[in-house]
Amino acid sequence: MKNLATPAALILAALAYFVPTVAGGAPVAYAACTTIAILAVMAYGADLILSYLGEVSLGHTIFWATGGYAASRLAVNAGWNGWATAGAAIVLSMILAAALGAATLRTREFVFSLVTYAAAVVAMEVAFNWSFLGGSDGIVGVPPLELTILGHGITGSSNAELWPIAWGLLMLTLLFIHRFRRSRLGTSALMVQMNPDLALALGVDARAVRFLVFVASAPISALAGWLYAYQRAYVGPDMFESYFLVLMLTAIVIVGRRLLLGPLIGTALIIVQQTFFSIGGDGDKIILGAVLAAILLLWPRGLIGVWDVLRRPRTTAR
């Protein structure tokens, strides 16, 4: 059954492409689906750290914002196309991740979380006060996304036009995560988390594994920020806000860790509530924080753990 789970998950994610059409093609459906895809990709970046290293990175908004600022700054001031800005987002995020990863190489768990959070606070203040990045006003007027694929030009000037690109980015992310889970690096990361003594006995360099996983996670969140900049045609210091950090963590843990579709389903639940059942900006943030706290306190394994508890009486009866 486990061998069938991953293909089934990928097929289910692929079928999600038709959700806006099934919903009648309304603009709100395209906006919600595009936002879900973008924010889910953002969460998958942090998921590599939390699910496979067992550590909490509170600084992944740095990479998310790096992608956004790279897209906006280079598109607005240098006229770069979508492929060029995406490449810049990947390279810049990996450089920042390598620097931050090297600085936190000796730290673990609580200290690691504090250091990454401090780095995010510093990055936010830099963006807020540096005129090169637009300062407190940010960078406005990001042009529509332009990509050329197999000789065909694609323009993303609306959510309906951005949806295929967002869906494609999501599918590429899922394929990468699937490949990572089966790779030597992914196996080593789980071993370092679950049985560090065994990892040491087998000659696994825990610090190198942690560093490589951290660097690999950065461009995922950065590409989400890259597309987010084109979606709203603006980038500002608000991309560093705790809202995005809490959304990442909630999306990862609400369903359960190390599930291929976990962050996607978690993000979808959050965005559907905020889009169709909103009680106001502050109210939605309260709900988001309350859900994260409830999951961590009551069901650390997420909703999948609740399902196991509900199934247990039936299994016992049998």
In the chain, what percentage of residues exceed pLDDT 70?
Answer: 94
Element (H, E) at 157: none
In the chain, how many domains are there? 1
CA 161 to CA 137: how far, in whole Å?
A: 27
Q: Rg of the chain over CA atoms, in angstroms? A: 20
**Tens-place pLDDT, residues 53-70:** 989 999 999 999 999 999
**Is 294 within a domain?**
no
Domain residue limits at 66: 2-240
Specify the DSSP class assigned to residue 261: T
Higher pLDDT, 155 or 20: 20
In 10 A of CB 160, how many CB atoms? 17
In 10 A of CB 19, how many CB atoms? 16
Per-residue pLDDT for 313 more than 60? Answer: no
Please list the alpha-helical segments (H only) found in the chain: 2-15, 19-22, 27-53, 61-77, 82-103, 109-129, 159-182, 184-194, 196-201, 206-232, 242-253, 262-276, 281-298, 303-317
**Is 293 within a domain?**
no
Find the farthest-apart pair of alpha carbons in the chain and give their distance in angstroms, rounded.
67
Long-range contacts made by residues 19-22, C-beta under 8 angstroms, separation at least 24?
A: 20/160, 20/163
Amino acid at 135: G
Per-residue pLDDT for 1 more than 50? Answer: no
Assign 2 a pLDDT band (cuts: 50, 70, 90): very low
Per-residue pLDDT for 139 more than 50? Answer: yes
Cα dihedral across residues 212, 239, 141, 17: positive or negative? positive
pTM of the predicted structure, to 2 decimals: 0.91
Rounded average pLDDT over 114-134: 94
Element (H, E) at 277: none
CA 230 to CA 233: how far, in whole Å?
A: 5
Nearest to 218 by CA among 5, 10, 20, 47: 47
CA 133 to CA 46: how far, in whole Å?
A: 24
Rounded average pLDDT over 287-316: 73
**Is 264 within a domain?**
no
**Is 192 within a domain?**
yes
Confidence at residue 167, expressed as pLDDT on a 0 to 100 scale: 96
**Tens-place pLDDT, residues 258-293:** 889 999 999 999 999 999 998 887 888 898 888 888
In order, the DSSP letters of 93-120 are HHHHHHHHHHHTTT--HHHHHHHHHHHH
C-alpha neighbours within 13 Å on the C-beta side of residue 303: 14
**Is 249 within a domain?**
no
Please list the alpha-helical segments (H only) found in 202-280: 206-232, 242-253, 262-276
